[in-house]
């Protein structure tokens, strides 16, 4: 009996074993929107193809892809890791990255033509370098929370976003708009959903041991504010 009691106490006190829940949900836009025209590559069509999808807003059955959902408040771990940004078929893959501070960003190129990567950042060191075919990866550590726009000085349609978050509790919504942030310690937090075109929404939430389900409708964001 003493052994069983000791085992139960050990399990209860183990970090993250019992006292954590997941945040699950979906980012949607329930208003009207027009499908964006693809980018024309012009003189680069031999290497890139004539059309490239405009990824600044992708909605599938009302679900919004590439929204960044981030958790704020409490003493949340950073969960440092390595994140990759590739230059493939004349666009950035993935289009949106969410990564915690003190994590490393590794930039590759898989294309047979020259590219330039240009980040517009203020809290972290900006990047503005040329990539040649077959070039080795370039690595940089992101040390401060920041929203970073990534462009290319050679190809006007190439754009991506790096969202550096203060901790490791974040997610990027999938093709249908769904997301999940696992293993969140119980407590009161602010949960923010951000999208490059539709804007930002923040909600106050309480996470219990059973987790929480929460959805964001970007129609709630005044569109004048969203497009600033």
Domain ranges of the chain: 19-39+50-73+175-228, 77-168
Domains 19-39+50-73+175-228 and 77-168 alike in fold: yes
pLDDT at residue 13 tops 60? no
What pTM did the predictor assign?
Answer: 0.88
Question: Given this structure, which CATH class describes domain 19-39+50-73+175-228?
Answer: mainly beta
What does the pLDDT look like over 126-184, one tens digit per residue? 999 999 999 999 999 999 999 999 999 999 999 999 999 999 999 999 999 999 999 99
Q: Please, are residues 196 and 96 in contact by the beta-carbon 8 Å criterion?
A: yes
Whole-number Å distance between alpha carbons of 95 and 161: 6
d(CA 133, CA 30): 42
CATH of 77-168, one of 1.10.1740.10, 2.60.40.420, 2.60.120.10, 1.10.10.10: 2.60.40.420
């Amino acid at each position: 009996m003493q052994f069983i009691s000791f085992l139960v106490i050990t399990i209860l006190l183990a970090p993250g074993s019992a006292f954590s829940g997941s945040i699950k949900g979906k980012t949607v836009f329930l208003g009207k929107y027009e499908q964006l025209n693809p980018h024309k590559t012009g003189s680069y069509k031999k290497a890139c193809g004539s059309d490239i999808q405009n990824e600044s807003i992708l909605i599938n059955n009302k679900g919004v892809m590439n929204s960044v959902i981030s958790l704020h408040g409490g003493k949340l771990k950073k969960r440092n890791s390595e994140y990759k940004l590739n230059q493939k078929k004349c666009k950035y893959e993935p289009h949106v990255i969410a990564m915690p501070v003190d994590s490393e960003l590794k930039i590759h190129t898989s294309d047979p033509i020259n590219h330039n990567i240009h980040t517009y950042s203020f809290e972290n060191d900006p990047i503005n370098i040329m990539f040649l075919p077959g070039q080795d990866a370039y690595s940089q550590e992101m040390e401060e929370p920041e929203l970073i726009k990534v462009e290319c000085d050679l190809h006007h349609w190439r754009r991506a976003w790096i969202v550096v978050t203060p901790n490791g509790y974040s997610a990027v919504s999938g093709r249908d708009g769904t997301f999940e942030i696992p293993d969140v310690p119980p407590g009161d937090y602010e949960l923010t959903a951000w999208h490059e075109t539709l804007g930002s929404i923040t909600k106050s939430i309480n996470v219990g041991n059973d987790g929480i389900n929460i959805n964001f409708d970007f129609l709630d964001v005044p569109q004048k504010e969203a497009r600033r």
